[in-house]
Structure 1
Amino acid sequence: MIHQYINNGFHIIMDVNSGSVHSVDPVMYDAVAIVAERVPELAEPEKLSEEVAREVMERLSPTYGEAEVQEALDEIQYLIDAEELLTTDQYHDYVVDFKKRKTVVKALCLHIAHDCNLACQYCFAEEGEYHGRRALMSFEVGKKALDFLIANSGNRRNLEVDFFGGEPLMNWEVVKQLVEYGRSKEKEYNKNFRFTMTTNGVLLNDEIMDYCNREMSNVVLSLDGRKEVNDKMRPFRGGKGSYDLIVPKFQKFAEMRGDRDYYVRGTFTRHNLDFSKDVTEFADLGFRSMSIEPVVAAPEEEYAIREEDLPQIMEEYDHLAEEYIKRKKEGRGFNFFHFNIDLNQGPCVAKRLSGCGSGTEYLAVTPWGDLYPCHQFVGQEEFLLGNVDTGVTNERIRDEFKLCNVYAKDKCRNCFARFYCSGGCAANSYNFHGSITDAYDIGCAMQKKRIECAIMIKAALAED
């Protein structure tokens, strides 16, 4: 399968099945388009037929000249021989036995607080309530969750625990107790806990920052960008904006963090489709790692992104990519999550096929110990998997998530982005289509655009 596109003057050819990416000149670009039309993929390396070569020459030589077209044909043959062009799909049969795989849990999202001190308009967690009640996780429940993770992690040594909410700093003492408990078990079970936390920053202080710099492998700082954008969507319950309070704290924390991982994570809505300005706002505030995600909301919400917004959003990603390259070359670059892409050694095959691991490798734990496939399914009783006392008892749902892969989804099976996005978000698929094996179409369109931009950026930066 071949995917071709032109972005910022770069002619990009992707051989989807092999993962090979080529930045080429226009004659090569046009020649590959003709060849791929006639020969979609090859079972094994072989010579281009005289008929196909003749057609390429006849169609392109009036524009480029015979010598240049022949050079392109020779290059195409070289890439075919190297199995970097027109390759076959080697992974289709790999997913057949996914349901038979033993489940190894490697990560938990601990809902340490089903409560929040902000009232973000787009919050899927309903200010922390998650379709239920406000509650704080006790140390005993959290302790059982860590014991469950250790017991179900098999031979995996590195385990991840994310303190999530609501707002986890509203239950800070229990966070510290659980980190201490996890550390006390590492040597005994030959495990290494990687603790992370997502916070809105309202309760951040020097003591918490110091502690996070010692114990948290990563910290996600929630901020939506410019003051007017953030304060419209992330106010306190009384309506007052949160920007002026949290930005100085985040700046101080980022400086204290040094070379440790963190990123500022925002959400853009229909109110700020010019979101590249919010990303550059993050960079201008001194943050070096950031992400801004499209809001996912019911179509009737006035801030929801609609299909008619996509052309403007695509232009905005292009603009952001150009600014990203410009700042990198000027020595003042930043790290934007969606422009990170590894073209040399990406995720393992299983990960590329099966996605984030929700419902199998990754589970969410409520304050009272119930287990769900991920934080976005919490409170939807049809997805209740079990609890920290009994473990996973709803094996039917777990097995459905095992089969949630790019070949189980009609929209993914023939998509060029399938090995990069791994099928998208199961929760978004369910919320929009009632099935975890469908796909959220607006999200897919944006993801494909981000992948194209990320690859173009690699080509642009490789020129220097």
Structure 2
Amino acid sequence: MIHRYYNNGYYIVLDVNSGAVHVVDELAYEVIGLADEAYQPEEIVTKLKDRWPESDIREVLEDVEELKNQGVLFTEDTYKDKIIDFKKRSTVVKALCLHIAHDCNLACRYCFAEEGEYHGRRALMSYEVGKQALDFLIANSGSRRNLEVDFFGGEPLMNWQVVKDLVAYGRKQEKLHDKKFRFTLTTNGILLNDEVQEFVNKEMSNVVLSIDGRKEVNDKMRPFRNGHGSYDIIVPKFQKLADSRNQTNYYVRGTFTRNNLDFCEDVLHMADLGFKQVSVEPVVAAPEEPYAIREEDIPFICEQYDKLAAEMVKRHGKENDFNFFHFMIDLTGGPCVYKRLSGCGSGTEYLAVTPWGDLYPCHQFVGNEKFLMGNVWDGVKNGELRDEFKCCNVYAKEKCQKCFAKFYCSGGCAANSYNFHGNINDAYDIGCELQRKRVECAIMIKAATAEQGE
């Protein structure tokens, strides 16, 4: 299976099953396309000899055959056999999303968590529940040494003392159990101050800073409950924190909606504010919401991704360059085979914990009782649901079978699939279209920067 496309001046061929990327000229691009349509060599020569010398065409045909022999073009799918016994595959819990606060000091209009309440009640996680969650993680992590804990909300800084106490408890347990915790924090920044910054820089491996971009965009969708915007408060705090972390190990993370389909301007705005690590993602919302992205918006959004990719190539290696999370791609190593096939590990290796200790497959399922898996005292009790998530992979999803991006997105988000189709083994169609475009742009950027000498 191959995928051919032209982007920003580059003819690119991706061999899907091997992951090999070939940047070619127009002749090779056409030859490979015809070969993919099962044309024989002499038929290809006949079809193209009016545009290129026959000797050049035959030389390219020889190169194509050599690439096939090397196992980097028109390769067979070797992954299928690996998913047959996914339900029997032993898994360990390696990451928890701690809902440290089901409360928030903002009222973001697109918030899937209903201003932090998650379809339930406002609550702050107690130290006792958080401590038990860490004990559960250690007990269910098997021989895995590196464990991840994300402090999430709502707004985690509204329960700051418990965050600090749980980090201290985790550090003590590291020595006792030969484990290493990687703590992360997601915050809207309203309560960020020097004391928080100092602690975060000492203890948090990564920090996600929520902001949507330009002032008018951010303040429309991320206001306080009284309607006032948050941009002027958070920008200087985020700039200070990013600089204090040497512009690494953080992301400013935004959401674009139908209100700002020109989101490329928001990405560049944040880059021009000095942020080097930027993530802006499309909103996922019910179709009836006025800010929801619609199918007719996809062509314009794809143009925005192309525009952003071209600008990043232009800025590469210069003082104003930056990283864009969705264009970061590893073409050499990549994730392990199970990650390629099953994605984030929600419901198996990754779980969300509510303030009162209930376990859910991930933060986006919290509040939906159909997906209650157990609790931090008794462990995972819904083994049938866990097995269903074990089997959630690209080969279980019909829409993934012929998709060139399947080994990069691993089938997409199970929660989005469920919310739009009532089934975790389907796929959110708009998300799929945008993911394919992002993969194309990411590969093009790799090609362009390699040409620049990297």
TM-score (norm 2): 0.99
Give the one of 385, 388, 398 matched to 2:386: 398
In the alignment, what sits opposite 1:120?
108
Counterparts of 2:86 and 2:72, CA distance in 1: 28
State the AA in 1 paired with 2:125: M
CA displacement 1:218-240 (0-9 Å, x = unmatched):
00000000000000000000000
Q: Secondary structure at the match of 1:344?
A: coil
Match status 1:195 vs 2:183:
yes
**Alignment partner, residue 31 of structure 1:** 31
User: Which residue of structure 1 lines up, in the alignment, with residue 64 of structure 2?
Assistant: 76
Look up the equivalent residue of 2:161 and give its one-letter code: E
Describe the superposition over 1:155-212 as per-residue Cα deviations: whole angstroms up to 9, x where unpaired. 1100000000000000000000000000001011110000000000000000000000
Is 1:247 equivalent to 2:235 in the alignment?
A: yes
**Residue of structure 2 equivalent to 1:136:** 124
Structure 1 contact 274–316 (Cα < 8 Å) conserved: yes
| C-alpha distance after superposition, 1:302-332 (max 9, x if no partner) | 0000000001000000000001111114342
Residue of structure 1 equivalent to 2:165: 177
The residue type equivalent to 1:12 in the other structure is I
Corresponding residue number in structure 2 for 1:110: 98
Shift, 1:244, TM fit: 0.4
Indicate conservation of the 8 Å contact 1:204/1:249, yes or no: yes
Instruction: Name the SS for the 2:90 alignment partner.
Output: coil
Cα separation, 1, equivalents of 2:198 and 2:88: 44
Counterpart for residue 97 of structure 1: 85
Q: SS of the residue aligned with 2:51?
A: helix
1:49 counterpart residue number: none
Q: Alpha-carbon deviation of 1:414?
A: 1.7
CA distance in 2, matches of 1:316, 1:172: 38
Which runs of 5 or more residues in structure 1 are unaligned?
Answer: 40-51
Equivalent-residue separation in structure 1 for 2:320 and 2:115 (angstroms): 36
Q: How does 1:198-217 map to 2 (within 5 A)?
A: 198-217=186-205
Q: Is the contact made by 1:213 and 1:260 (CA closer than 8 Å) also made in structure 2?
A: no
1:333 and 2:321 aligned:
yes
2-side partners of 1:330 and 1:6: how far apart?
26
SS of residue paired to 1:195: strand
Give the superposition deviation at 1:101: 1.2
Q: Please, which of 143, 146, 151 is the counterpart of residue 158 of structure 1? A: 146
Name the % identity. 69
| Cα distance in structure 2, aligned partners of 1:366 and 1:353 | 28
Match of 1:18 in 2: 18
| CA–CA separation in structure 1 for the residues paired with 2:8 and 2:297 | 21
Aligned counterparts of 2:14 and 2:120: Cα–Cα separation in 1:
46
In the alignment, which residue of structure 2 is the partner of 1:435? 423
- Where 2:28 maps in the other structure, the secondary structure is helix
> Which aligned segments of 4 or more residues in structure 1 are displaced greater than 3 angstroms?
none
Q: Which amino acid aligns with 2:422?
A: G
Contact 1:141-1:367 at 8 Å conserved across structures: yes
CA contact (8 A) 1:158 1:192 kept: yes
- Is the 2:242–2:248 Cα contact (8 Å) retained in structure 1? no
User: Which residue identity lines up with residue 346 of structure 2 in the other structure?
Assistant: S
**1:103 Cα deviation from its structure 2 partner:** 2.2
User: What SS does structure 2 have at the residue aligned with 1:315?
Assistant: helix
1:88 aligns with 2:62: no
SS in 2 for 1:129: coil
Contact 1:10 1:456 in 2 (8 A): yes
User: 2:411 matched to 1:426?
Assistant: no
In 2 relative to 1, CA 249–259 (structure 1 residues): closer, same or farther, beyond 3 Å?
A: closer
Instruction: Give the distance between the partners of 1:189 and 1:66, measured in 2 at CA.
Output: 68
Number of residues paired by the alignment? 452
Distance 1:402 1:422 in 2: 13
- On the 8 A contact 1:217/1:260 being kept in 2, the answer is no
Deviation at 1:259, TM superposition (A): 5.2
CA distance in 1, matches of 2:368, 2:398: 25
What whole-Å deviation, never above 9, does each CA across 1:266-315 have from its counterpart, x for those lacking one? 00000000000000111111111010000000000000000000010000
1:411-463 CA deviation, whole Å, 9 max, x = no partner? 01221000000000000000000000000000000000000000001111111
- Distance in 2, matches of 1:223 and 1:329, equals 25
- Pair 1:412-2:408 in alignment: no
Q: How does 1:47-58 map to 2 (within 5 A)?
A: 52-58=40-46
Shift of 1:96: 0.8
Q: Is the Cα–Cα contact under 8 Å of residues 364 and 415 in structure 2 kept in the other structure?
A: yes
**1:33-79, Cα deviation, whole Å (9 max, x unpaired):** 0111107xxxxxxxxxxxx1101110111101112101110110110
Which sections of structure 2, spanning at least 5 residues, go unmatched?
none
- Distance in 2, matches of 1:67 and 1:277, equals 47
* AA at the equivalent of 1:312: F
How far apart, CA to CA, are the structure 2 residues paired with 1:19 and 1:126? 40
Of 371, 375, 391, 1:383 maps to: 371
Cα shift at 1:257: 1.3
Determine if the alignment matches structure 1 residue 258 to structure 2 residue 246. yes
Residue 179 of structure 2 corresponds to residue 186 of structure 1 = no
Which secondary structure does the structure 2 equivalent of 1:346 belong to? coil
- Alignment partner, residue 339 of structure 2: 351
Cα gap change, 1:283 to 1:102, in 2 (>3 Å): same
C-alpha distance in structure 2 between counterparts of 1:158 and 1:27, whole Å:
48
Please give the alpha-carbon distance, in whole angstroms, between the structure 2 residues aligned to 1:260 and 1:19: 28
Does 1:269 pair with 2:254? no
| Distance in 2 (alpha carbons) for counterparts of 1:105 and 1:413 | 28
- State the alpha-carbon separation in 2 of the partners of residues 305 and 396 from structure 1: 34
Q: Secondary structure at the match of 1:6?
A: strand
Q: In structure 2, how many angstroms separate the alpha carbons of the residues matched to 1:412 and 1:187? A: 43
Q: Confirm or deny: 8 A CA contact 2:146 2:182 kept in the other structure.
A: yes
Shift in Å, 1:355? 0.6
Q: Letter of the 1:210 partner, please give it.
A: E
C-alpha contact (below 8 Å) 2:247/2:277 kept by paired residues: no
Partners of 1:97 and 1:413 lie apart in 2 by: 19
Which residue number in structure 2 is paired with residue 45 of structure 1? Answer: none
**C-alpha contact (below 8 Å) 2:312/2:321 kept by paired residues:** yes
Q: Pairwise mapping of residues 364-375 of structure 1 onto structure 2 (< 5 A)? A: 364-375=352-363
**Take 2:60 and 2:450, find their aligned partners in 1: how far apart are those partners?**
22
User: Aligned to 2:143, what secondary structure does the other structure show?
Assistant: coil
For residues 173 and 135 of structure 2, the distance between their equivalents in structure 1, rounded to whole angstroms, comes to 9
